[in-house]
Chains A and B, each alone.
Chain A
Amino acid sequence: MEKMSAIEVISLTKKFGAFTAVDSISFSVEEGELFGFLGPNGAGKSTTAYILTTLLKPTSGTAKINGIDILQSPEKVRKSIGIVFQDQTLDNRLSAYDNLNIHGMLYNMPAAARKKRIKEVLELVELSEWENKLVKTFSGGMRRRLEIARGLLHTPKILFLDEPTLGLDAHTRRHMWTYIKKLKEQGITIVLSTHYLEEADALCDRIAIIDHGKIIALDTPQNLKKLVGGQVLSIKSQDNEKMLGLVNSKNLGANARILNGSVSFEVKNGSEAIPGIVNAAEKAGIKIESIELHVPSLEDVFIKLTGEQIREETAGQSDFKRGLAHGH
């Protein structure tokens, strides 16, 4: 017997007019896995999430969620998943309890089960003492936690988290990570989309790197980092162009490029390579100001694969909206 995947996506494509937001992507997610979608805003992450949660119909291709086809039985799919959207979807004029209670009714939970489960999820996200307060009095972090609680209320098999920490400060973000790790320990399958590299690195079992609607790499964070050979050196000098030419002509390292005012390239072993590089620079008459050596991060992987840094953009501009703007 073949093991059933929690999610199976088969050449999914979504076009908005002439703009292709999602370009024939295929992948599968195993049960209990924490699967990450990493990419800049506008890469197609939210659009993919909207299609998998049946809010948008794909232009072509399809997907199976818990073995159910998203096109054939969208309502069944919706019953078995929980979703935390990128933009807030709580009712601010209702209390935390009412938001959860209404959700439970919409998912057809009997009254007793609803009550018990509301208590559980509020405890999980540490909002128990706030249950009767109106959501409009909540901070951004509290709202996100309440949304996660709501997404879990009907005990879904899969939880979709679309940029769950967007717009939160660094401290609150790390706090959110501990909640997400707790969920994973409970065995729920999680699909997390994010444009924060450290977030994907810290949480995910496997990461699909998506850019311009295409999956350009899919592996564990460790294996992805191995795509960048060895270590990364960043050399700041008075003449970056000349330094870049030197690295390339003398074959001092691979994948050299200028980034943030320094020349960045991959070497097998940084500490052994540095003296030779310094010598070569001296001979060429380039004055080095600083040298930085680091083990590859997901950011290096992303730069290697796309040739650019991940685009940091302001919150709220979801790629779905951009897709629509392209379409009209």
Chain B
Amino acid sequence: MAIELIKIYAVWFREVKRFANSKSRIVGSLAMPLFFLIALGGGIGALVPDFNYPTFILPGIIGMTILFNSIFSGVSIIWDRELGYLKELLVAPTSRATIVIGKALGGATTSVLQGAVILALGIIFGLASPSLIGVLLAIFIMVIFATLIVSIGIIFASIITEIETFQLVVNLIMMPLFFLSNALFPVEKMPEWLKTLSMFNPVSYGVDALRTLINGAGSNPFVLDILILLAILIVALGLAGALFNRTSI
């Protein structure tokens, strides 16, 4: 067991170090959510004067930040395959499960770091004032949410192996997951069709839990959100492991 832990750490370390080495990725990954928060929050906020829209979407934007980075981390296995590094991983005396877990935790780490930065900025801007416990719980939710999204990315990377479809995959997963969720719109005001779709979207539960913790405005009971997230995480991680197990160079 200790043996596999050091190997999981190796895969995790690679993900985190790659991220730390890429300054453009760090800046880029924070710029987009900030644009969303400021432009969308300010613009749409002006349309709904009775509703504090920027406060409402802060958890949604944190969710978006994690969603984008985590999908990218999971799907980056396609790049590892293209650029050859996957061979180095697959030929090591390491189980496939180790690689999946290390990859999921590595992607989750960089995602949660970014999510935490957005949360900190939100607090500084006065969009939220959660308690310390609330912040710690929010980080915990971010970890579960990010790990499950990376797993979904790994699932797609294991099925789709062509680098040409990389951008398409990223867009086809990310855009619906983000827009067909409660990240930008309150569930109570949604048209029926959107409400139904968002109910089957893991992003909605991550964002709802964060909303409960950050500004007490979640729709579902907090425990329900956590249970649903954990259930999806277990299924997604298991599926990612099984599919990645079948992948070859």
| Interface stretch of the complex, out of A4-12, A59-67, A86-94 | A86-94
Is there contact, CB below 8 Å, between A106 and B21? Answer: no
Cα(A78)–Cα(B93), bound, Å? 5
Q: What A residues does B85 contact at CB under 8 A? A: 89-91
Q: What B residues does A102 contact at CB under 8 A? A: 10-11, 13-14
Q: What A residues does B7 contact at CB under 8 A? A: 105-106, 108
**Contact residues of B: prevailing secondary structure:** helix
Is there contact, CB below 8 Å, between A94 and B14? Answer: yes
Is there contact, CB below 8 Å, between A105 and B6? Answer: yes
Is there contact, CB below 8 Å, between B94 and A94? Answer: no
A75 lies within 8 A of chain B by Cβ: yes
B88 lies within 8 A of chain A by Cβ: yes
Cα(A79)–Cα(B94), bound, Å? 9
Q: How many residues of B contact A (CB 8 A)?
A: 26
Is there contact, CB below 8 Å, between B249 and A50? Answer: yes
Minimum CB–CB distance for A56 against chain B, Å: 7
**What residue of chain A has the Cβ atom nearest to residue B8's Cβ?**
A105
Q: What B residues does A134 contact at CB under 8 A? A: 21
**What residue of chain B has the Cβ atom nearest to residue A76's Cβ?**
B93
Cα(A228)–Cα(B6), bound, Å? 55
Q: What A residues does B216 contact at CB under 8 A? A: none
Cα(A55)–Cα(B96), bound, Å? 13
Is there contact, CB below 8 Å, between B89 and A106? Answer: yes
**What residue of chain A has the Cβ atom nearest to residue B98's Cβ?**
A106
Minimum CB–CB distance for A193 against chain B, Å: 15
Is there contact, CB below 8 Å, between B248 and A55? Answer: yes
**What residue of chain A has the Cβ atom nearest to residue B84's Cβ?**
A89
Is there contact, CB below 8 Å, between B84 and A85? Answer: yes
Known: A55-B249, A78-B92, A79-B93. A91 touches B87 (CB 8 A): no
Report which of B6, B84, B92 forms a contact with A103, defined as CB distance below 8 A.
B92
Minimum CB–CB distance for A82 against chain B, Å: 9
For the complex of A and B, 6 pairs with smallest distance between CB atoms:
A105-B10, A89-B84, A106-B92, A79-B93, A78-B93, A89-B88
Give me the interface of A with B, judged by CB distance under 8 Å. 50, 53-56, 75-76, 78-79, 83, 85, 87-94, 98, 102-103, 105-108, 134, 150, 320
